[in-house]
Structure 1
Amino acid sequence: MVGKVNTSLNWLTAVEADRRAAGLRRELRPRTVDSPLIDLASNDYLGLVRHPDVIEGATAALRRWGAGATGSRLVTGTTTEHELLEVELAEFVGADSGLVFSSGYTANLGAVTALSGPGSLIVSDAGSHASLVDACRLSRARVAVAPHSDVSFLADTLRSRVEERALVVTDSVFSADGDLAPLREMHQVCREYGAILLVDEAHGIGVRGAGGRGLVHESGLAGEPDVVVTATLSKSLASQGGVVLGDNKIRAHLIDAARTFIFDTGLAPAAVGAARAALAVLQREPTRALDVLARASELADVTGAPSPESAVVSVVLGDPQRAFDAASACRDQGLHVGCFRPPSVPEGTSRLRLTARATLSASEMEQIALVLRDVLAGARA
């Protein structure tokens, strides 16, 4: 109505003020092509985003297939390029088959909801990624949140369940702390009590396991019929998209039942081509995975963080404003670092999240050490 004051959005002003007071306001900071900052924030663990073979893989697919997938995977959105990527990824990690989704997020949503549902139980690690948390919420299953990496809780919960079907979900490498899930022990419990184990390898593939095949492969669980692997193509594989890898029966079921597969437009061909090329580089140069861990160890030595098990080095500072100020100070001195605050991490554990990259040079590591020592000395004072 003309002249009437609209107050429907007033609550947003109060919410923003509360976030700002708590040091939790977020802003977008676009990167520039010629940024002079040394990158310790991205998930380009293998340093392949600008690799000429990866760029050529993307552009060749773009020229061949066009800019978009044109439809859902079940209609017109599946190309021979998609199917080749699925076969290559499955062979790489030791799975029977793969199914490519438009993102790692939709891969987790699709897999978890299709493999659970009303009348089933999901046990989810407390440190699971937000995509797994959201998938649990959408599943309509009973959800039990297990204390982080608590195998005893998992066993007790599965033993006492009344549901016929159970699904256990976890990250392999947890994104905030970079620690590893006890996959062997978890699988033993799942096998004993008839549950499926779903493992998100977003931060594992390209870093852990022989030649970067992931923690599932490293744990001796590759190809087990009751193990499902999800992953993103946007980290070590330098592209975009997600994948579910597992038994052929899992793939067939997801094609029929995963809503984020059935109703979503297929992954753009350029992203598929880039991921295939990145995987080929990793297979030719498997030591890139070892290089990531070596750089992560150097970052931990500089910062006094615990010895890392992945590409992630977490420097906990506690207060969100302190973490934000430290990240800003790093930026002013030429480093782009991650700044994780609630709700990304628990209250009181705001931190700098540093991510190692296989291609960091010796001179870059020297500059990184100088800046981090200076900034952290002030932040910890």
Structure 2
Amino acid sequence: MPRPLLTARVAALREQRIAQQRLRLRRTVLRRDGMRCEVQDAGGGSRWLLDFCGNDYLGLARHYSVAGALQDAAARTGAGGVASHLVCGHRTEHVALERAVADWLQAPAALLLGSGYAANLAVVQALLGKDDVCVQDRLNHASLIDGARLAGCALRRYPHADAEAALRQLRAAPEGAALLASDGVFSMDGDVAPLRALALVARAQRATLYIDEAHAIGVLGETGRGSVAAAGLDHGAVPLRLVTLGKALGSYGALVVGDADLVRHLAETARPYIYTTALPPALAAAALAAVQRARRDEWRREQLAARVRQFREGARRLGLPLLDSDTPIQPLLCGSDANALAMAAALEHKGLWVAAIRPPTVPEGSARLRITLSAGHAPRDVEQLLDALAVVRDAVAAGATPAAHA
């Protein structure tokens, strides 16, 4: 019996990914202990690896105050969100988190959503329509691009970090509302957007500037208020920001923070907010504990910055081809997909877990190791990684590495 066309297409596309060395496989983490994790292997066994690919930048995901807040709130409120916020799912824990994050970022209002992806869809879909334009950095997160497609607006993408090109795109746009959107810290390159220049462009063209702070919040700026604060800007210049809770804040969910009228409009009209169950109150309580810890634990940012400096100085001595980044995201260019996979496999053989990132996540020809650092890493951990990278680089060049993980 012939297979349905869709099934045949899916099978053919998978074979194509295998041939291109772009198959993505999930790895199962059995246990975590600090920055080490026990990972199941393909044969059913497991091994402990030192994690250099997660986004727990401040080491809060397993902190006792965050986990304790989760457990205490779950005992009071249960495991689920019960209903959407506009039905009967809006709880005091959600309100407390929204108020705390708005206060932290010195903004009028905040709205809690289920994930950063959903939040970006919500913002663009609720604010723009077919007669409007969304101008974006070419290296923005996929959720911002998908949000523009969902909105049905015109999508214009400018060369990475080129504010003058953004200006040209806005000037050439048709009449209608304009949203200028950019990551604050770019998730695969680790560099920071030219926010002051983008703010000037948005003001000159009467566009609304929206910044995705996913990889900046908790890490950059005074008390970890993100890339907008680090650039000396406020909510007047940047009316909307995205704050994710699943990276430096070690929890789950996201908030859109900024202008009260815009935030209220999202709460009343954004489909990813209206038509989904509220975040479990216990997760909101855990995130609130993480926000409080991130605000006051300046030593975590200092320790993280020290690990970044240590790694970059060591990589420079070794001649490793890093991209220009002073954030916890440290991309090491590998050239081909095969090289990136081989280096990741060789590092895993040495007990280190580093992600090989390939197209379409990054542009063609720019496969890389995405090395991420955390306040939870000790100096000896970074030295172990540097020593391994020096050996692995030479082994890949000589063609002598373990079989690559797809």
TM range (shorter): over 0.9
Cα gap change, 1:379 to 1:95, in 2 (>3 Å): farther
Q: Which moved further from structure 2: 362-371 or 116-125?
A: 362-371
Q: Is the 8 A contact 2:22 2:358 kept in 1?
A: yes
Query: Which whole-Å deviations, capped at 9, do the CAs of 1:256-288 have from their partners, x for residues lacking one?
Result: 111100101111122211111111111221231
Residue 82 in 1 paired to residue 94 in 2?
yes
Quote the Cα distance in structure 1 between the aligned partners of 2:146 and 2:205: 25
Helix, strand or coil at the partner of 2:166 = helix
The DSSP-based 3-state class of the residue aligned with 2:86 is coil
Contact 1:319 1:348 in 2 (8 A): yes
Structure 1 residues 226 and 326: CA distance shift in structure 2, 3 A? closer
Q: 1:312 aligns with which of 329, 346, 349?
A: 329
* Residues 124 and 148, structure 2, Cα contact 8 Å, conserved in 1: yes
Supply the AA of the counterpart residue of 2:10.
L
Match of 1:97 in 2: 109
Task: Choose which of 104, 126, 129 in structure 2 pairs with 1:117.
Answer: 129
Quick one: structure 1 residues 95 and 380, their matched pair in 2 at CA, closer, same or farther if it must change by over 3 Å?
farther
Q: Which amino acid aligns with 2:340?
A: A
Q: Name the residue aligned to 1:12.
A: 10
1:49-88 CA-partner distances (Å, limit 9, x unpaired): 1110010011111111110010111112211000110011
Q: Is the contact made by 2:335 and 2:366 (CA closer than 8 Å) also made in structure 1?
A: yes
Alpha-carbon deviations, 1:109-138, whole Å to 9, x = none? 001111111211110110100110110111
The within-5 A match list for 1:119-158 is 119-158=131-170
Task: Provide the rounded CA distance (Å) in 2 between the counterparts of 1:380 and 1:193.
Answer: 50
3-state SS, counterpart of residue 245 of structure 1:
strand
| TM-score in terms of structure 1 length | 0.96
Task: Please tell me whether the aligned partners of residues 110 and 254 of structure 1 are also in contact (alpha carbons under 8 angstroms).
Answer: yes
Aligned to 1:353: 370
- Is contact 1:81-1:273 (8 Å) kept? yes
Contact 1:198/1:227 (CA < 8 Å) preserved in 2?
A: yes
- The corresponding residue for 2:281 is 269
Matched, 1:181 2:193: yes
What is the aligned partner in structure 2 of residue 291 from structure 1?
Answer: 303
Q: Distance in 2 between matches of 1:10 and 1:122?
A: 36
1:379 aligned onto 2:396:
yes
Aligned alpha-carbon RMSD (Å): 1.4
CA distance in 2, matches of 1:235, 1:161: 35
Asked whether the equivalents of residues 293 and 356 of structure 1 are also in contact (C-alpha less than 8 Å), the reply is no
2:35 maps to what in 1?
none
Structure 1 residue matching 2:362: 3-state secondary structure? coil
Using the alignment, how far apart are the partners of 2:339 and 2:208 within structure 1?
41
Say if 2:342 is the partner of 1:325: yes
Query: Following the alignment from structure 2 to structure 1, what is the Cα–Cα distance between the partners of residues 325 and 156?
Result: 29
Task: Give how far 1:380 is off.
Answer: 4.4
Measure how far apart 1:43 and its partner are. 0.4
* TM-aligned CA deviation for residue 40 of structure 1: 0.4
- What amino acid sits opposite 1:379 in the alignment? V
CA contact (8 A) 1:300 1:306 kept: no
Once residues 300 and 242 of structure 1 are traced to their aligned partners in structure 2, the CA distance between those partners, rounded to angstroms, is 30
Distance of 2:12 and 2:124 partners within structure 1: 36
Name the structure 2 match of 1:366.
383
- Deviation of 1:307 after TM superposition, in Å, equals 4.9
Match of 1:76, SS state, is helix
TM-score (norm 2): 0.90
Q: Determine the structure 2 residue equivalent to 1:251.
A: 263
3-state SS, counterpart of residue 74 of structure 1: helix
Tell me how far 1:94 sits from its aligned partner. 1.6
Q: Does 1:31 align with 2:48?
A: no
Paired residues, number: 378
Q: Answer yes or no: is the 8 Å Cα contact 1:207–1:290 preserved in 2.
A: no
Q: Does the 8 Å contact 2:50/2:351 carry over to 1?
A: yes
Mapped to 2, the partners of 1:300 and 1:17 lie a distance apart of 38
Question: 1:265-318 CA distances to partner (integer Å, 9 max, x unpaired)?
Answer: 111122211111111111221231232222122222333324522110000101
Assess if the C-alpha contact under 8 Å between 2:307 and 2:379 holds in 1.
no
Name the SS of the counterpart of 2:354 in structure 1.
Answer: strand
CA drift of 1:195 comes to 0.4
4+ residue segments displaced more than 3 Å: none
- Check the 8 A contact 1:297/1:308 in 2, yes or no: no
Report whether the alignment pairs 1:220 with 2:232: yes
Corresponding letter in the other structure for 2:335: G
State how far apart, in whole Å, the 1-side matches of 2:114 and 2:59 are.
22
CA contact (8 A) 2:209 2:237 kept: no
8 A contact 2:184–2:192 mirrored in 1:
yes
